């Protein structure tokens, strides 16, 4: 730890300091678990951090409404006259999707909820709406309208419509709500037909509002929220808010994760029966965690979980905190007890590997599993030569040209995305990516400006990448 006393001045045209500015130190590789120190400037624009940790790659972030965020490196030693100058924010250009939501009889739908990639709004008395379009909207993202007592209206091709209309916005759309939502009712029983009370029953293949988001939000749950359906004392359940289609359900016990998966059930069914198998759990599951080259990975964490949602595209999982996790030994071996036979997966994480998971299949030899994982590499990108207002982003692709996940590990958690935005200095923080990365791309507004082949090495603490744009 080193003591730091710093003063920040924020001059404007009148050179009057601004108060209520927040200063954060970002721990880009923060497994220490330390809280981020934060201070707020006083009426003179001054602030002071008495002690801050000496962390490689640590940054100071200065934020205030109506001003651009400033990010600068943490001084390597005591600093008593640090000056940070904030620029007023530039006006933000926002693209909006507009249209009208109607009831089944053609009249305006007042108060209907309209959602686009988890950005929502409500219609006015004329049924009209306006909702922001994200800059990186996926082509598969639908535009959805919902209202209690009606089936949602879904424009499944709206993301593609936005792409086709770029750089303009798509024309106004009309969404017509459907009739009363449908439901599925039934019972969950054990192998002998006895009722299973207190089991959770949910859609395994609901209709995603925003593809690729975790945890998933389904169109069917927009009005009711993420309220679980739980069987009563007789094992009975009823799932409401459904579209006119078939659904696959999963019922599971929250304590053991024993589960049963249904065949497709048509919405409107009232007598579905979900029967548990006689052997829902593996007594023992064992195996090894290896690198891609077959080298044992020691110190990796392995924890079982249950697949609870599987819409089109990525699968979504639930990690049960009550099940005992294990850590691999020097030979990369692990052993678990009481793992579900059906719908289970093993999640692998650790300081040396990228988070990964693998489903257990019926034909697997669960006493001799071999899970190969990608090693984690750390990197930082610095880009110079960019003078436009549009912010820059980076992405990394593998040898097949597919974008791969970029992870940001910080004290208290981690986040993942396929693209990472550069700060005002043209830098990323210290990020993590799979050893599979083969090409770096620099983008602005979704357009690739620069490509470079990269070789990132796990044994290097931070792989530094410097790019000068032409």
Distance CA 14, CA 428 (A): 33
Q: Are residues 331 and 301 in the same domain?
A: yes
pLDDT in tens, 19-70: 444 444 433 343 334 456 778 888 888 888 777 776 666 778 888 888 877 8
Q: Are residues 171 and 236 in the same domain?
A: no
Q: Are residues 241 and 290 in the same domain?
A: no
Distance CA 65, CA 402 (A): 37
Decide which of 259, 275, 291 is a domain's last residue. Answer: 275
Q: Are residues 368 and 381 in the same domain?
A: no
Distance CA 242, CA 222 (A): 11
* pTM of the predicted protein model: 0.69
Distance CA 326, CA 334 (A): 7
Task: Say how many domains are in the chain.
Answer: 5
pLDDT for 336 beyond 60:
yes
Q: Are residues 19 and 58 in the same domain?
A: yes
Q: Are residues 287 and 365 in the same domain?
A: yes
Decide which of 57, 89, 121 is a domain's last residue. Answer: 89
Residue 316: per-residue pLDDT = 53
Residue 133 near residue 166 (C-beta atoms within 8 A): no
Distance CA 188, CA 182 (A): 20
Range of the domain at 150: 96-176
Q: Higher-confidence residue: 319 or 261? A: 261
Distance CA 80, CA 3 (A): 10
- DSSP letters spanning 397-428: E-TTS-B--EEEEETTEEEEES-EE--TTSB-
Overall average pLDDT of the 85-99 stretch: 80
Residue 93: per-residue pLDDT = 66
Residue 343: per-residue pLDDT = 87
pLDDT for 352 beyond 60:
yes
Residue 329 is part of a domain; what is its CATH number? 2.60.40.1120
Residue 311 near residue 205 (C-beta atoms within 8 A): yes
Q: Are residues 368 and 389 in the same domain?
A: no
Q: Higher-confidence residue: 273 or 416? A: 273
Q: Are residues 251 and 309 in the same domain?
A: no
Residue 208 near residue 312 (C-beta atoms within 8 A): yes
Structure confidence at residue 378 as a pLDDT band (50, 70, 90):
very high
Q: Are residues 298 and 315 in the same domain?
A: yes
DSSP 295: -
Q: Are residues 362 and 395 in the same domain?
A: no
Q: Higher-confidence residue: 439 or 319? A: 439
Q: Are residues 366 and 394 in the same domain?
A: no
Q: Are residues 349 and 386 in the same domain?
A: no
Residue 249: per-residue pLDDT = 95
Decide which of 323, 344, 373 is a domain's last residue. Answer: 373
Residue 57: per-residue pLDDT = 61
For residue 158, give the 3-state DSSP assignment.
helix
Phi, psi of 305, rounded to the nearest 5 degrees: -150, 180
Residue 387 near residue 437 (C-beta atoms within 8 A): no
pLDDT in tens, 214-247: 667 899 988 887 788 999 999 999 999 999 999 9
Of 112, 176, 166, the residue nearest 137 (C-alpha): 166
Q: Give ∠ CA 309-313-315 in degrees, rounded to 5.
A: 35
């Amino acid at each position: 730890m080193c003591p730091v006393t710093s003063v920040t001045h924020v001059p404007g045209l009148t050179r009057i300091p601004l108060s209520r500015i927040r200063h954060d130190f970002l721990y880009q590789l923060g497994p220490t678990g330390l809280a981020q120190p934060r201070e707020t400037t006083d009426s003179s624009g001054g602030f002071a951090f008495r002690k801050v940790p000496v962390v490689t790659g640590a940054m100071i972030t200065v934020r205030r409404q109506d001003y651009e965020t400033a990010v600068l490196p943490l001084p390597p030693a005591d600093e008593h006259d640090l000056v940070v100058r904030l620029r007023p924010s530039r006006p933000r250009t926002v693209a909006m999707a507009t249209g009208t939501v109607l009831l089944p009889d053609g009249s305006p739908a007042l108060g209907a909820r309209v959602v686009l990639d988890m950005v929502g709004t409500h219609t006015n008395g004329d049924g009209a709406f306006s909702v922001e379009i994200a800059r990186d909207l996926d082509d598969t993202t639908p535009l959805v309208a919902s209202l209690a007592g009606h089936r949602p209206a879904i424009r499944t091709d709206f993301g593609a419509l936005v792409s086709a209309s770029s750089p303009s916005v798509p024309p106004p759309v009309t969404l017509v709500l459907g009739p009363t939502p449908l439901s599925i009712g039934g019972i969950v029983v054990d192998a002998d037909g006895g009722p299973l009370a207190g089991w959770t029953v949910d859609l395994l293949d609901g209709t995603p509002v925003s593809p690729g988001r975790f945890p998933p939000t389904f169109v069917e749950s927009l009005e009711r929220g993420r309220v679980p359906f739980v069987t009563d004392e007789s094992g009975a359940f009823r799932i409401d808010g459904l579209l006119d289609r078939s659904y696959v359900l999963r019922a599971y016990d929250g304590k053991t994760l024993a589960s049963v998966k249904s065949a497709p059930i048509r919405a409107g069914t009232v007598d579905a029966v979900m029967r548990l198998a006689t052997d829902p759990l593996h007594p023992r599951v064992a195996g090894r965690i290896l690198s891609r080259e077959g080298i044992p990975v020691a110190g990796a964490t392995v924890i079982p979980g249950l697949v609870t949602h599987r819409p089109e595209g990525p699968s979504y999982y639930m990690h049960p905190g009550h099940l005992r996790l294990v850590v691999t030994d020097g030979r990369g071996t692990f052993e678990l007890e009481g793992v579900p036979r059906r719908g289970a997966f093993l999640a692998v994480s650790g300081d040396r590997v990228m988070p990964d998971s693998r489903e257990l299949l019926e034909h697997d030899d669960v006493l001799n599993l071999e899970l190969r994982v990608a090693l984690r590499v750390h990197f930082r990108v610095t880009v110079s030569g960019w003078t436009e207002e549009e912010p820059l982003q980076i992405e990394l692709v593998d040898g097949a040209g597919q974008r791969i996940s970029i992870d940001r590990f910080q004290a208290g958690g981690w986040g993942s995305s396929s693209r990472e935005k550069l700060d005002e200095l043209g830098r990323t923080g210290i990020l993590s990516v799979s050893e599979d990365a083969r090409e770096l791309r620099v983008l602005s507004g979704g357009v690739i400006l620069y490509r470079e082949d990269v070789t990132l090495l796990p044994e290097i603490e931070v792989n530094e990448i410097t790019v000068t744009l032409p």
